[in-house]
């Protein structure tokens, strides 16, 4: 099928050339996934998760986590400062948190086993929000979309030329692409979220140095986890080294925030 291959490569090259973007750290990105579609998918997934997972009802803990999240959201720039950010706290012991396109934040109460004070929690939430502002989900979904022409060709072959069968085959092959928001981030995106998240927490008046004990706690909670080369996440040791390398700039932002009166007092 040489003709299909030439057409596929030509269309893909055109898409890539017309979809260049730059991440908050200056990294070149290729993004042509629809932000509106990703936000709609995220809203649906978030609603389903809230409906199927127990939500925390302890008011003191809810207020504590919301206090930290609100302080960080207040430091966001356009267009993300204009989002109606929504948060859900799940009554589960998983040591996890996430953020989705469109301003969705999910926190599992188990994260408090590793994030033991407001500054450590700010490192977690800042990191997750940075995934959204850096458009990592759109970037990740776009990598799936780059195979779209190939998916169409495969659908034609699987459908045997019958339009109805081709449509069904295409929908089946494309199902994974529509779940791009749920796929894990790669190491580069994780490291970038660390850097940007550190800036957010520092601008809000949280001590960026708390990110080191946070990841030390994470390492203790995840003893026996896979080595770095088997994971999409940087190892805790490498992550800590990268964070420390950012302290020169992040501590400057933190000191400026403190001098400006930004002194969060989020208590459990």
The catalytic residue positions are 128
Work out the angle between the directed axes of helices 118-133 and 187-203 (0-180°, nearest 10). 120
Which distant-in-sequence residues (6+ apart) come within 8 Å of 153 by Cβ? Answer: 1, 4, 8
- What CA–CA distance (Å, rounded) separates 133 from 197? 10
- 98-121: b (≥16 Cβ within 10 Å) or e: bbbbbbbbbbbbbbbebbebbbbb
Burial of 187 (0-12, 13-18, 19+ CB in 10 A): middle
SS3 state at 62 = helix
Burial of 238 (0-12, 13-18, 19+ CB in 10 A): middle
* Beta carbons of 132 and 99 less than 8 angstroms apart: yes
Identify the CA nearest to 133 among candidates 189, 65, 173, 71. Answer: 189
């Amino acid at each position: 099928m040489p003709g299909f291959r030439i057409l596929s490569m030509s269309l893909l090259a055109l898409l890539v050339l017309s979809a260049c973007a730059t991440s908050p750290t200056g990294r070149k990105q290729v993004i042509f996934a629809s932000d509106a579609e990703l936000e709609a998918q995220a809203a649906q997934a978030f609603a389903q998760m809230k409906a199927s997972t127990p939500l925390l009802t302890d008011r003191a803990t809810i207020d504590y986590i919301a206090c930290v999240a609100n302080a960080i959201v207040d430091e966001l720039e356009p267009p993300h400062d204009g989002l109606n950010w929504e948060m859900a706290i799940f009554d589960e012991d998983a040591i996890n948190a996430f953020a989705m396109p469109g301003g969705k934040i999910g926190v599992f109460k188990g994260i408090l086993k590793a994030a033991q004070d407001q500054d450590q929690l700010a490192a977690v939430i800042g990191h997750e929000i940075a995934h959204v502002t850096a458009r990592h989900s759109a970037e990740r979904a776009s990598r799936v979309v780059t195979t779209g022409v190939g998916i169409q060709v495969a659908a034609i072959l699987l459908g045997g030329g019958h339009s109805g069968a081709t449509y069904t085959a295409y929908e089946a092959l494309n199902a994974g692409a529509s779940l791009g928001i749920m796929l894990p981030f790669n190491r580069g995106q994780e490291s970038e979220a660390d850097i940007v998240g550190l800036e957010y927490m520092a601008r809000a008046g949280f001590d960026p140095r708390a990110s080191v004990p946070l990841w030390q706690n994470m390492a203790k909670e995840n003893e026996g986890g896979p080595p770095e080369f088997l994971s999409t996440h940087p190892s805790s040791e490498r992550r800590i080294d990268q964070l420390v390398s950012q302290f020169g700039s992040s501590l400057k932002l933190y000191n400026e925030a403190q001098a400006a009166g930004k002194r969060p007092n989020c208590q459990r």
